[in-house]
């Protein structure tokens, strides 16, 4: 193997997802750009996921299967084992938008003079429809999904890895920690980077995500940002309750 550092580190974390992991692996290995290392961190799966990964092991740079303390602990393990200049998290079940995605990203990074962060669009696939969410510069939430965020290694070296006390919003906490009121060079592209399947998030996780985001805004934000964040969270809660009330009314 060459001693040259790869341009990209693609990191996949997985736990008990034997169907989704194959999609993610093949999407990654089929990229036309080959200047990347591929790291898979498995949380000690018992459903056959490990057997699927073993099929592709000769093409993997790192494969670890051991218990972890959650998704962000697994992602931190991937960061610590990576060597690439830019890191991309493409977790199990997610996939690159096309075989040319890494090549497009490489070209954009060169054109933008190697920014700290490159942010792209994400296509979310629901059971009956799909939608594309474009990246936008905001501090009230993540500017885009972490699957569509390309992060220069320097940011992790300078600001640390993901804060594991947050189970859902640690990526948002890192976004605030590394960019809010800092001279971080961000570059937004108009094309899709990732496709994410939306299998449905329980209300408990939605509420927990809102609570974690509120705590993060409290920690990093100004009074104005805290006020805007509170309005956003209250509005989201009202929408959720309105939808539940609508369903109950029509079920009668």
Residue spans per domain, the chain:
8-221
User: What's the rounded Cα separation, in Å, for the pair 141 and 61?
Assistant: 33
Determine how many CB atoms are found less than 10 A away from the CB of residue 68: 19
Contact 84, 152 (CB under 8 A): no
Alpha helices in 112-196 (DSSP H): 153-159, 170-179
CA 235, CA 32: separation in Å to the nearest integer?
43
59: which residues sit within 8 A by CB, 6+ positions away? 29, 38
Task: Supply the pTM of this predicted model.
Answer: 0.88
Q: Are 154 and 224 in contact (CB under 8 A)?
A: no
* pLDDT value at residue 62: 97
Phi-psi region of 70 (alpha: psi -120 to 50; beta: other; left: phi over 0): left
Task: Tell me what pLDDT residue 38 has.
Answer: 98
Q: What is the CATH number of domain 8-221?
A: 3.90.550.10
Q: Are 7 and 35 in contact (CB under 8 A)?
A: yes
Q: Are strands 86-89 and 149-152 parallel, antiparallel or unpaired?
A: antiparallel
Predicted local distance difference test score (pLDDT) of residue 243? 67
Query: Do residues 143 and 137 lie in contact, with contact meaning Cβ atoms separated by under 8 Å?
Result: yes
pLDDT at 204: 55
Is residue 57 helix, strand or coil?
helix
Tokens representing 196 are 């994410």
Separation CA 85–CA 83 (nearest Å): 7
In the chain, which residue ranges form alpha helices assigned H by DSSP?
18-29, 49-55, 71-81, 101-111, 153-159, 170-179, 203-220, 223-251
d(CA 12, CA 87): 11
Q: Cα separation of 230 and 249, whole Å?
A: 28
Cβ neighbours of residue 26 under 8 Å, at least 6 residues apart?
A: none
pLDDT tens-digit profile, the chain (252 residues): 456 899 999 999 999 999 999 999 999 999 999 999 999 999 999 999 999 999 999 999 999 999 999 999 999 999 999 999 999 999 999 999 999 999 999 999 999 999 999 999 999 988 788 899 999 988 888 999 889 999 999 999 999 999 999 999 999 999 999 999 888 999 999 999 999 987 644 445 777 888 888 889 888 877 777 777 677 667 766 766 676 676 667 665
Distance in angstroms between the alpha carbons of the first and the last residue of the chain: 65
CA distance 38 to 2: 15
User: What local confidence, expressed as pLDDT, does residue 228 receive?
Assistant: 72
Write the CA distances from 114 to 68, 146, 150, 153, 175, integer angstroms.
Answer: 33, 19, 11, 11, 18
The pLDDT tens digits of the residues spanning 108-132 come to: 999 999 999 999 999 998 878 889 9
Report the SS3 class of residue 140.
coil
């Amino acid at each position: 193997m060459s001693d040259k550092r790869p341009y990209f580190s693609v990191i996949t974390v997985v736990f008990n997802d034997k169907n989704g992991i194959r999609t993610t692996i093949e999407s990654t290995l089929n990229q036309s750009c080959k200047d990347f290392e591929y790291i898979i961190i498995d949380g000690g799966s018992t459903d056959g996921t490990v057997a699927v990964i073993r099929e592709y092991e000769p093409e993997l740079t790192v494969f670890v299967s051991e218990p972890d303390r959650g998704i962000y602990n697994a992602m931190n393990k991937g960061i610590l084992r990576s060597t690439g200049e830019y890191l991309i998290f493409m977790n199990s079940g997610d996939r690159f938008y096309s075989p040319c995605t890494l090549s497009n990203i490489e070209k954009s990074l060169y054109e933008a003079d190697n920014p700290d962060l490159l942010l792209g669009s994400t296509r979310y696939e629901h059971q009956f429809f799909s939608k594309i969410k474009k990246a936008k510069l905001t501090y009230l939430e993540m500017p885009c999904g972490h699957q569509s965020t390309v992060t220069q290694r320097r940011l992790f070296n300078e600001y640390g890895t993901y804060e594991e006390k947050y189970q859902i919003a640690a990526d948002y906490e890192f976004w605030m920690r590394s960019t809010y009121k800092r001279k971080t060079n961000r570059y937004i592209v108009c094309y899709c980077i990732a496709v994410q399947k939306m299998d449905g998030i329980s209300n408990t996780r939605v509420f927990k995500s809102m609570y974690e985001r509120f705590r993060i805004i409290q920690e990093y934000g100004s009074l104005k940002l805290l006020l805007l964040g509170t309005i956003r969270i209250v509005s989201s809660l009202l929408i959720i309750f309105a939808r539940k009330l609508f369903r109950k009314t029509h079920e009668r």
